[in-house]
Structure 1
Amino acid sequence: MKFKILFLATMCIFFTSAQAQRAGLKGGVNFTNLYVDDVDDENMKVGFNVGLFHRSDISNNFAIQPEFLFTQKGSEIQYSGFLGGSGKYRFNLNYLEVPVLAMAKIGSFNIHAGPYLGFLVGAKVKDIDDDGSVNDVESLDRDDFNTFDYGIAGGIGFDFPDGMLGLRYNYGFVEIGQSGVAGQATENSKNSALQLYLGFDF
């Protein structure tokens, strides 16, 4: 039900503006981290983002751009004696996200910022031992994490005749883990992502 509401709200944003200037496909690379207490180290995880964008010009120098994206987040976290043993945990979190960005345009360049709402569609945690053995953490799955995430996004972009290129940073406001093992393993942690993307108009 919550996903249906998110999807319908996004489609309304995409299609209610008859004066849309640009719409298309975009995708790119995510460099993500979680900030977790009681661990020795944190490692950036590489994932991807892909989806749709729809830009409506309000004036020559200002626009609104909502997007509907599938995006991979998470982190690889080194531990020593954390939940027993030593090695690292790999958190793989997949979201459907809807950023709505206000965009200031300066010629072909733009600066954009705005809120985003995310819906967790999948979560998998792996335990990688020092010897390289990979084991799924069977006690942790999507139900152990908060279903919704929200935060703020901001970045810079460059427009070319049939597309765009940009760099954006997303910071979540919601702690990703719920109670139990997931809450202990991810205490106070929030999503953080640097995104490099390329888009093309329909």
Structure 2
Amino acid sequence: MKRPFNTFLLTAAIAVGSYALQSTNVQAQSTARVGIKGGFNASTLYYDSDGVNDKNERYGFHAGVFAQIPAGDFFAIQPELLYTTKGASGNYNILGINGTNTFRLNYAELPVLATFKLGNTVDLQLGPYVAYLLNSDINSNGDFGTGVARIDRDNFNKVDYGVAGGLNLYLGKALIGVRYGQGIQRIADSGVARTILGNAKNGVGMISIGYSFN
């Protein structure tokens, strides 16, 4: 699986973190925040399937709400409720028949993140998430034609969970954030999904913009 987007996330995190460490004269934010956020996803699935090659990210989005609850001058807890897209795409060549399959998994996700505040501008975050699978399908485009086939949710574990980490940069009430989440739960549970995906787990990188109302 190619991972250029995840390399970009790491570069962005280092750059913003360096900026934060130089801002030693900024006082820590100690008031609660409530806001909205959304942005771009690049998700991956690590799966093995005969004839599948050149596996790539699925590009999608996330959107939702967040709250930040202070627990001291330099620490807070941030729960969120997000709609988020996950999955991956892969090219196949089976008996000379070529095409691309995109596995699309869409979740309602609840991260609960420990937030370490570097002044009033930068937050470093790490914590668990749990997600509930809302729907799933495969989008196919190739020699067989183009179409979307539903995969019964019963073939998947409806609950996904894992860990997420990243940082936010606040510009007044506006924010820009980067995050990576790695699933721990195996996605496929039974049926065709288990045959294709095996022990695959979710991985997703996010770039967010948002607004804090207070």
Q: TM-score range, shorter-chain basis?
A: 0.7 to 0.9
8 Å contact from structure 1 (residues 75, 90) kept in 2: yes
* Corresponding position of 1:190: 201
| 163, 178, 198: which one aligns with 1:152 | 163
Q: Give CA deviations for 1:117-175 in whole Å, capped at 9, x if unaligned.
A: 000001111222147x212335x232221101000000011122213211000000111
Retained in 1: the 8 A contact 2:122–2:167?
Answer: yes
Aligned to 1:74: 87
CA distance in 2, matches of 1:182, 1:190: 12
Aligned CA-pair RMSD: 1.9
Deviation at 1:69, TM superposition (A): 0.4
| 2:158 equivalent to 1:143 | no
Query: Per the alignment, do residues 33 and 130 of structure 1 end up closer, same or farther by CA in structure 2, a change over 3 Å counting?
Result: farther
Separation in 2 of the partners of 1:127 and 1:116?
30
Q: Aligned equivalents of 1:169 and 1:158: distance in 2?
A: 15
Q: Give the 3-state SS of the residue equivalent to 1:137 in structure 2.
A: strand
TM-score (norm 2): 0.79
Quote the Cα distance in structure 2 between the aligned partners of 1:96 and 1:135: 25
Whether the aligned pair in 1 keeps the contact of 2:175 and 2:209 (CA below 8 Å) is yes
**Superposition pairs of residues 122-141 of structure 1, within 5 angstroms:** 122-130=135-143, 133-138=145-150, 140-141=151-152
Given candidates 65, 75, 78, the residue that maps to 2:78 is 65
Gaps of 5+ in 1: 1-18
> Quick check: 38-47 or 55-64, which moved more?
38-47
What stretches of structure 1 move > 6 A for 4+ residues in a row? none
TM-score (norm 1): 0.83
In the TM superposition, what are the counterparts of 1:97-176 in structure 2 within 5 Å?
97-107=109-119, 108-130=121-143, 133-138=145-150, 140-176=151-187
Q: Specify whether residues 182 and 78 from structure 1 end up closer, same or farther in structure 2 by C-alpha distance, changes over 3 A only.
A: same
Q: Which amino acid aligns with 1:24?
A: G
Whether the 8 Å contact between 2:97 and 2:143 is mirrored in structure 1 is: no
Name the CA distance, whole Å, in 1 between partners of 2:82 and 2:103.
20
Any gaps of 5 or more consecutive residues in structure 2?
Answer: 1-29
Q: CA deviation at 1:80?
A: 2.4
CA contact (8 A) 1:125 1:141 kept: no
Q: 1:13-52 counterparts in 2 under 5 A?
A: 21-38=32-49, 39-52=52-65
State the Cα deviation string for residues 77-109 of structure 1 (Å, max 9, x = none). 122229x94322111111000000001111111
User: Taking every aligned residue pair, what percent have the same amino acid on both sides?
Assistant: 39
User: What is the number of residues matched between the two proteins?
Assistant: 181
Residue in structure 2 matched with residue 94 of structure 1 by the alignment: 106
